[in-house]
Structure 1
Amino acid sequence: MGATVEELLGIKPRTSRPEPTRAHQPAPTRHTPVDQKIAFSFLFFSDVRKDVSDEQKYNFMRDVTLFADREGFCSIYLPERHFYEFGSIYANSAVMAAYLIPQTKNIRFRTAGVSLPLHHPTEVVEWWAMNDILSGGRVDLGFGSGWNKPDFILAPDNYENRREICSERIEQVRRLWRGEELTYPGPGGEDFPIKVFPRPVQKELNVWLLVAKNHDAFIHAGRQGYNIFTMLYGNNLEAMRKPIQLYRQARKEAGHDPQAGVVSLMLHTLVHPDMDLVQREVEEPFKAYIKSALDAHVKAAVVPGETVTEEEKQKILAYAYQRYFKTSGIFGGIEHGRTIIEEAIDVGVDDIACLVDFGVDYDVVHQSLPYLKELIAPYIKRNP
């Protein structure tokens, strides 16, 4: 196997010397919430439930989006997933946005993200220019290189060089968005100069890059002037401080405003004052969510002929759940939630993308939304 399962999840097996718990870590810097600047969004990503229909899943997504639009959230992040039960109701983020845009007034529609090696740049700009018009200029695009091999039946020649292709195509998308003419090969080897229509409302496209924990990726995004979408990958919030500092420094060295770049961080979220309820509702679906992600990563990474035993998977799963629950989400009451938010601000996060569709019962999520509203209220500024 090219990497251990632990490395894929960004975790280390427990040794005889336990890792420090939150209680043993330095106390987070305290701030006055109303003075803190941070945005809140929703991310739709996992779709692991098998006990509800796809229509119910889309209805849930709609309901959360409308809540976000009413209550001062900044955006929703839409994924692109293919050919795997884990998340594939999100096969085309542009279609999903086109459904939701007419029902909203305020929130922005962002992708997290378009797997750009799978698509022609002109195709991406056409889809999202239409959505930019329909939304009155509320579109931002996040891009990733993709990783799941079966996805690349859509572009089988692009898998090996997917990162380089992604970088090249992001710049093509930005130029086409501005209205520039680019030349592409057509039938018979003939080249065609192409400008994309319809023209979007926004003159410039705000770009997010999906970034893992690799420091070089943060530096690259900073140099290019991109915003960042990232996850904790099993780390705690303090682990984000260094890569975010490197990102800001890279922006500065490349001539970009170091503070203008937005660092968006996904956090699993269930806010409720009854911690027993949170534990009860989160454990099974959260473990199922982690296992689904684990299975997908293992399939992508295992060398033919090698296997990961069920015992190994269960061992990693148990450790990952305990670690994730304590350090990688907003789980519990208002006061605890604000501690997490303050830690995120302290390490340099600009936008928390709340992941609520990781398998928790929809009724429980709906019940939790008023508490989430109360949690973020001191931090956000309402739209005029």
Structure 2
Amino acid sequence: MSDGAFLSAGDLARLKARLKSGATGAVEPRDTPGSAPIPDLGVIFFSGLGTDRDPYDLLLDVSRFIDRAGFTAVWTPERHFTEVGGAYPNPSVLGAALAVITENVRIRAGSVNLPLHDVLRVAEEWALVDNLSGGRVDLAVAPGWHARDFVLNPDGYELRSQLLNQARDQLQDLWRGNAVKRVDPLGETHEVLSFPRPVQRQLPLWLTSSKSVDSWRFAGETGLNVLTALINFSPSGLEQRIGLYREARARVGLDPDAGVVSLMLHTYIGTDTDEAVERVRPAMTEYLSSFVSQHATSGQSESPDKSRTLQTLGDDRDAFIDMVFHRYISTSSLIGDLDRARTTLEGFHAMGVNEIACLVDFGLSKDEVMKSLARLSSLLRKGA
């Protein structure tokens, strides 16, 4: 879902300096949990990784479980041409499968990269899923990230932000039952209406955003929800962006508190925090290493120095990834025991986060993932 990397260029330089000094970082202890409210909980898939090597088995079993356990939504991404994430090339296909095995959870794309597609096809596919699910479809939309993905639409890369906004408006028009004009190969203009007609009269939309402050303002001004991750900013940066988002909604006459902020967090709940951290260490370090490598070659780095830093770490690379791991675990994840999870969730709720999208497919076995979600679901059963 990302449009950037886990760390800024300045972060990379500071971390490399710390590597030379031998610093490694540590997981900070959390306060004792209280009884404050927590965000809604959903599950998001992004990597397709697991020791069982069957991402669809994990996807289906997790979806069945969370549907019964009180979770809000299941998100599936759109990812292309990479082994990590390559199990998820089309969220509408996965959404159709999930629609027929669940009854309660929302079926969400996280995200549809609209500039890669004809919006008519997007409207058709997701209206079909809306029918199969009885009106449980939500979409997060994004401009696309990796330049390689745009082999599907090479002319769209430089214009991807503009194309996203155009396609988003057309998608909503089609969903409402308004036709769009298209020209056929013979030069004849047609008023085209998409079918099947959806169950929902209005399509709930999220904008996928991480780094850009302007995108948060735009989402607020246009009445979009936001799907985000702690990728290019800290929790304090997230709180600042949520404030700007709420202010933007109020400025255009929208209820500032009605917009939904959904935050993706890597999630594993164990019986002991130290044990949980060590349990995820191999999978998370491999995942983070892969993600950093993808960003370095994505064409999205705003700073040549950032890419050069990533590519020239050499013998320091393992230590660098370990430092990223400690930083990410301690500030940007839902990894630990249930008490720590509760405290983390309370903190994000206090910042204005409405939902947590729990990322679970980053390399653990299905058994570990299912036990983790069962522990986490106890917070929902208590009516938290």
Q: Answer yes or no: is the 8 Å Cα contact 2:276–2:337 preserved in 1.
A: no
Residues 65-80 of structure 1: matches in 2 within 5 Å?
A: 65-80=63-78
Q: CA deviation at 1:228?
A: 0.2
The aligned counterpart of 1:32 is 35
Q: Give 1:367 deviation, angstroms.
A: 2.3
Match for residue 221 of structure 1? 219
Deviations 1:69-97 (A, max 9, x none): 00000001110011110101101111111
- Residue 142 of structure 1: SS of its match in structure 2? strand
> Which runs of structure 2 are paired with 1:53-72 in the superposition (5 Å)?
53=53, 56-72=54-70
Unaligned runs of at least 5 residues, structure 1: none
How much has 1:373 moved relative to structure 2?
A: 1.3
Quote the residue 2:84 is aligned against.
86
Task: Choose the corresponding residue for 1:123, options 116, 121, 124.
Answer: 121
Contact 1:267–1:354 (CA under 8 A) maintained in structure 2: yes
Aligned residues: 370
Letter paired with 1:132: D
Unaligned runs of 5+ residues in structure 2 are: none
CA–CA distance in structure 2, aligned partners of residues 5 and 227 of structure 1: 22
Residue 96 of structure 2 aligns with an amino acid whose one-letter code is A
1:375 paired to 2:379: yes
Deviations 1:247-274 (A, max 9, x none): 0010111222111110000111111113
Q: Which of 92, 95, 98 is 1:97 aligned to?
A: 95
TM-score, scaled to structure 2: 0.89
Distance across 2 between alignment mates of 1:186 and 1:226:
33
- Residues 20 and 278 from structure 1, CA distance in 2 versus in 1: closer, same or farther, beyond 3 angstroms? closer
Q: Which residue of 2 aligns with 1:242?
A: 240
Is the alpha carbon distance of 1:185 and 1:12 closer, same or farther for their aligned partners in structure 2, counting shifts above 3 Å?
A: farther
Call closer, same or farther: CA 1:13–1:24 in 2, change over 3 Å.
Answer: farther
User: Aligned pair in 2 of structure 1 residues 40, 282: CA closer, same or farther (>3 Å)?
Assistant: same
> Percent of aligned pairs with the same residue?
35
Match of 2:157 in 1: 159
* Matches of 2:26 and 2:274, distance apart in 1: 20
Note if 1:41 corresponds to 2:42: yes
Residues 138-287 of structure 1: matches in 2 within 5 Å?
A: 138-233=136-231, 235-287=233-285
Corresponding position of 2:338: 334
The answer (yes or no) to whether the contact 1:186–1:192 under 8 Å persists in 2 is yes
CA drift of 1:313 comes to 3.7
Corresponding residue for 2:311? 308
Deviations 1:354-381 (CA, angstroms, capped at 9, x unpaired): 111111122222222221112343355x
What TM-score do the two structures reach when normalised by structure 1? 0.89
Deviation at 1:182, TM superposition (A): 1.2
Q: Which of 1 and 2 has higher RCO (CA within 8 Å, sep 6+)?
A: 2
Q: State the Cα distance separating 1:52 from its structure 2 match.
A: 3.8
Pick which of 190-199 and 105-114 moved more. Answer: 190-199
